[in-house]
């Protein structure tokens, strides 16, 4: 995957959110500047679509995780609208990524350079960079 120089990389799962920047080249990303923004997961209506009876019985739907994904999307939307993010790539587990897509603002969509549906929050930075280069 092409990772523009100075692109922001958001790494998300149902509980964690990291934001990094690429200081390397397009096909040889070097990620650094790891931040963990403080989020307020308040949008619990986000998971209403997933609240069927089978999901409730099996525990497949965790509203806290979906609310966290919505909060990440809202944070990214605010940064994109404020012009603080030019290029962004999002790496998230499939469930979080699916929820986030429901909340993307058109300004964020215009700055989105790629998505990777993979859980990477517990991985070292060099493995995340390698996953981007291989995507």
**What are the φ and ψ backbone dihedral angles of 115, each rounded to 5 degrees?**
-135, 145
The pLDDT value given to residue 55: 56
pLDDT at 44 over 70: no
pLDDT tens-digit profile of 70-101?
999 999 999 999 999 999 999 999 999 999 99
Calculate the average pLDDT of the chain.
Answer: 87
Burial class (CB within 10 angstroms; exposed 0-12, middle 13-18, buried 19+) of 22? buried
Domain locations in the chain? 8-134
User: Taking residues 7-29, what's their average pLDDT?
Assistant: 94
| Domain formed by 8-134, architecture | 2-Layer Sandwich (3.30)
Percent residues over pLDDT 90 in the chain: 66
DSSP-derived secondary structure letter, 49: G
DSSP states of 59-120: T---HHHHHHHHHHHHHHHHHHHTT--SSEEEEE-HHHHHHHHTT--HHHHHHEEEEEES--
Tokens linked to 105: 């603002």
Percent residues over pLDDT 70 in the chain: 84
């Amino acid at each position: 995957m092409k990772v523009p120089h100075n692109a922001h990389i958001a790494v998300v799962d149902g509980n964690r959110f990291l934001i990094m920047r690429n200081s390397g080249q397009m096909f040889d990303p070097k990620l650094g500047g790891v931040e963990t923004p403080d989020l307020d997961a308040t949008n619990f209506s986000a998971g209403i679509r997933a609240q069927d009876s089978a999901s409730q019985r099996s525990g497949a739907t965790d509203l806290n995780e979906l609310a966290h994904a919505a909060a990440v999307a809202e944070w990214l939307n605010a940064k994109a609208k404020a012009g603080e993010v030019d290029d962004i790539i999002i790496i998230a587990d499939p469930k979080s990524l699916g929820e986030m897509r429901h909340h993307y603002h058109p300004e964020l969509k215009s700055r989105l350079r790629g998505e990777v549906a993979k859980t990477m929050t517990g991985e070292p930075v060099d493995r995340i960079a390698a996953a981007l280069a291989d995507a």
